[in-house]
Amino acid sequence: MELRRTFHGVFAVLFFIAYIHHREKLKNMNTENTVLDAGIDGDYFKPTTTNLATTGQRFANYLIDLVMVLIVIVLLAVILELLSFSIPDNDLIYRLLGVISMVIYYTLTEMSGGRTLGKLITKTKVVNELGETPKASQVLKRSLCRIVPFEAFSAFSSTKLMWHDKWSDTYTIKAN
């Protein structure tokens, strides 16, 4: 129980630091919907207050991607069974398998063009501050931030930025 309190305390402190850091960044955010010079795929947009994905789009992304993560979990379990690696009937092991599957799914899909299946369907995209596909380190950080307890509730913030956006300096924007 003591470890759990320490864990939550550390994340509360990290959240506070990230909030202070990004509060100023949001105040200075570009309020025009400025298209950058065409990049490799000609589809780069600077994140603005007007082109951030809506809460509804983000919720749809979450539901679609949740199904995909569950599929990855099943595939991972099948592969482990085929390799004769028996999975002990332990709640911690199942949770760990879920976290690993989630990080793998989000990292691989968002590194290849900034889109998961959910984002493809809802026509949204992950970009960095310049409107480009984020670096691999940003995507990995973004994926790991999703593990934080109660991170999903950050969707209800007034800034439309979730913790995994703020802490990795990325944005989910509307894209065609």
Residue 141 confidence (pLDDT):
95
Q: Which residue has the higher pLDDT, 91 or 44?
A: 91
Inter-helix orientation angle 55-82/91-111, to 10°? 120
Lowest-confidence pick of 23-27, 57-61, 84-88? 23-27
Q: What is the pLDDT of residues 106-125, one digit of tens each?
A: 999 999 888 999 999 999 99
Q: Provide the number of structural domains found in the chain.
A: 1
pLDDT class of 83 with cuts at 50, 70, 90: confident
* Residue 126 · residue 174 · CB < 8 Å: no
| Most confident among 18-27, 39-48, 74-83 (mean pLDDT) | 74-83
pLDDT class of 46 with cuts at 50, 70, 90: confident
pTM (2 decimals)? 0.69
Residue 44 confidence (pLDDT):
52
Q: Whole domain around residue 79: which residue ranges?
A: 2-174
